Amino acid sequence: MAYDVNGTSVEHDEEGYITNLSEWTKELADIIAKAEEVEMTDEHWAVVNFLRDYYEEYQIAPAVRVLIKSIKKSLGPEVGNNKYMYELFPYGPAKQACKIAGLPKPTGCV
């Protein structure tokens, strides 16, 4: 299974998470978002970028409650709350945003 980014194919697993994290691009993020029926706004990008920074620093994709707590701290409580995060990513902020950010499925997602 693969995404098609301008003719280049990027492998993903059965849930849609890409296999090789280094193949991520912004164009790919838009394609994954479309498949997830998420329309990317600046707010979505802020969360996606936050996740990529978190992964870079800690080498894990955070669990949803850790994500929301951390976002609250760095982007403020108007973004970092359950309701708003689920509005942005209806199928789960951690799961969906990680997929779009090209990261593995979050650790602690049970």
Partner 1 sequence: MSETVKKFLYVNRKAPYGTIYALESLEVVLIGAAFDQDVSLAFLDDGVFQLTKGQDTKEIGVKNFSPTYRALGDYEVTKLYVEKESLAERGLSADDLQELVWEDEDDDYAEKPSIRIIDRTEMAKLMANQDVVLSF
Minimal distance, residue 56 CB to partner 1, in Å? 9
Place of tokens 């779009």: 100
Q: What is the dihedral of CA 7, 12, 17, 23, to 10 degrees?
A: -50
Q: Is 109 designated active site?
A: yes
Q: Which is nearer to partner 1, 33 or 94 (CB)?
A: 94
Q: Is 70 in the site for partner 1 (CB under 8 A)?
A: yes
Minimal distance, residue 69 CB to partner 1, in Å? 7
Alpha helices, DSSP H, located in the chain: 26-35, 42-58, 64-75, 82-88, 93-100
Q: What is d(CA 74, CA 19) in angstroms, rounded to the nearest whole number?
A: 29
The binder of partner 1 chosen from 66, 75, 84, 92 (CB under 8 A): 66
The binder of partner 1 chosen from 23, 40, 75, 108 (CB under 8 A): 108
